[in-house]
Amino acid sequence: MQYAIVTDLNRCVGCLNCTVACKAANSVDIGSFWIKTLRIGPNPKFEGAVCPDVEMYFLTVQCQHCEKPQCVEVCPTQASHKRADGTVQIDKSKCIGCQFCVMACPYNVRYLNEEERIVEKCTLCEQKIAQGELPQCVMQCGARARFFGDLEAGIESFEGPAEPSQMEEDKSYEKCQGERSVLGSLLNPHKESEVYSLPDVGNIPSFKFILRERTWQGGGR
């Protein structure tokens, strides 16, 4: 099992709902973030192009819950560890704040909580997924761009909250949040070559990104 998130970058509008929802659900301190949203571009569509012949997209970056996490390998106390569900977690009772994991992470998504002197990062809302719920960033994505699931089952099976257009009668927020949509049936078709991941330096990042008809600038494949 390898839990992960797939983000359709053609749908993402950079609204920061995922960032805000994450901070609220996990009590992330002011000035710290478990999810960062980067604007990629605008870049010319072809050499010498100028506006309006430019393209851009938003890229959400957080812990990638890697298959072979380097942060776990360098942790001297085993505070950072990989669970059976594929997520990478931090045992706060074992963390000594040495920040070896912070330095080892290739995505710069870990930080030291100065007050508690422990390292923090995205937990993939372990408190929610353990109860069969979706991560908060997935639940609150207004563009329905984020989906959660098990990579071993294929990304087509990943789920998110229902989209109003899928609902026959009751299209309320509460109703949509209570129902699930499946990536394979909701999103526009995509090719295998249009599925990307952040750069792999031997850690094998688990999160995937779908980007159609634009140039991927995030490195990796």
- Rounded to 5 degrees, φ, ψ at 185 are -100, -15
4-37 residue pLDDT tens: 999 999 999 999 999 999 999 999 998 999 999 9
Between CA 153 and CA 138 the distance in angstroms is 18
In whole angstroms, what is the distance from residue 122 CA to residue 41 CA?
Answer: 26
- Mean pLDDT confidence for 106-123: 95
| Cα distances (angstroms) measured from residue 116 to each of 24, 97, 120, 175 | 19, 9, 10, 39
> Residue 221 — very low, low, confident or very high, per pLDDT cuts 50/70/90?
low
Backbone φ and ψ for 125, nearest 5 degrees, come out as 50, 55
The pLDDT assigned to 47 comes to 82
Indicate the pLDDT class of residue 42, thresholds 50, 70 and 90: confident
Confidence label for 220 from pLDDT (cuts 50, 70 and 90):
low
- Determine the average pLDDT of the residues in 100-119: 95
Out of 9-18, 47-56, 77-86, 92-101, pick the least confident.
Answer: 47-56
Domain boundaries, the chain: 3-65+122-210
Q: How confident is the model at residue 97 (pLDDT cuts 50, 70, 90)?
A: very high
CATH topology of domain 3-65+122-210: Alpha-Beta Plaits (3.30.70)
The pLDDT tens digits of the residues spanning 139-160 come to 999 999 999 999 999 999 999 9
In this prediction the pTM is 0.92
Residue 53 has pLDDT above 90, yes or no: no
Mean pLDDT, the chain, integer: 92
